[in-house]
Amino acid sequence: MRSLSLILDTFTLCISKQIGFAAMFMQFCLKNVHSFLAALWGWIYMLVSGTQVQQTPVGNISRPETSTKEQKEGSSNQLTTPSSVNYHFTRQCNYKCGFCFHTAKTSFVLPIEEAKRGLRLLKEAGMEKVNFSGGEPFLHERGHFLGELVRYCKQELQLPSVSIVSNGSLITETWFQKYGDYLDILAVSCDSFNEDTNKVIGRGQGRKSHLDKLHRVHNWCRDYKVAFKINSVINTFNVDEDMTEQITALNPVRWKVFQCLIIEGENAGQNSLREAEKFVISDQQFQDFLDRHQSVKCLVPESNQKMRDSYLILDEYMRFLDCREGRKDPSKSILDVGVEEAIKFSGFDEKMFLTRGGKYMWSKADMKLEW
């Protein structure tokens, strides 16, 4: 009888283990169904759109491996809040500015649902302002992709500020009619008020006038209640120009004036798509330009040092880019490791961000502008 009892106990234990294993297996399968379907959807999207991808494990959209010495050794335990994030969701552009420091090295764009997932993660981590940039953000899907992200951030995520930086050439009034309510600030890049200078720089396309489109977009911003901003990169071809009269007439809420910046692998170096060395100006030349325009109240200067350390830049794979070493060292994607882990390798100097006036009245609801 004791033997029979022992046999029955052993049999019962085996059955329990088998049932437990089966339950664990079913749980594992169910847990990964979502990841599998998300990956499958991403592959179908990219195959239909013609985007090339690398083979990756199930559950991950293809993102390049990023592992540098700085990342392995430079992890910080200090928690950084991504209050303002610049999301360069595309590198493609219809202009060829000679100093561009975020060039078209890839045509990759995340599927929109994955981009939204990343934006939600950023909101949950403390993001208050998102700025969409490129490349040229209005190029992909003729601005529809951008518009839907703008709508999502303002309507679904309820962000206080949603902004865009664009060269302005592809913006239409129809876009404003559809998405203008969800946009707080539109910044248009303009480096000169001399059309020939713009063409030498590469800010132009064919016979189209960059300045004519600048004024048209300015008027649309007024008509559809979007705060208008101008960005200018000061370089060897415009450093002696006086833009006071034109900027005063356009009256942007902010005139961001950048010093031409060299980034290894982007606009300088062996693997770069641009050769920006001929555009570089000295710190004194930049200061002379600022002194010449000191009467312009909306001027916001951005030296190279401020630019390298005080921006949270997210690339097309949703990786933070560390520019402290004069190049763009990417973190892991926030879609893979989360915001808190990825932001440790962003190189972001929060004190410099506040010092340069990175946090300002960035919601059009608070600006009390006279439209």
Name 196's bridge partners: none
Active-site annotation holds for 190: no
Q: What does the alpha-carbon distance between residue 316 and residue 256 come to, in Å, rounded to a whole number? A: 24
Options 14, 93, 153, 298, the catalytic residue:
93
Is residue 53 within 8 A of residue 46, CB to CB? The reply is yes
Active-site annotation holds for 97: yes
Options 14, 97, 153, 323, the catalytic residue:
97
Q: What does the alpha-carbon distance between residue 8 and residue 340 come to, in Å, rounded to a whole number? A: 52
Residue 196 burial by CB count (10 A; 0-12/13-18/19+): exposed, middle or buried? exposed
Options 100, 153, 221, 323, the catalytic residue:
100
Active site residues: 93, 97, 100
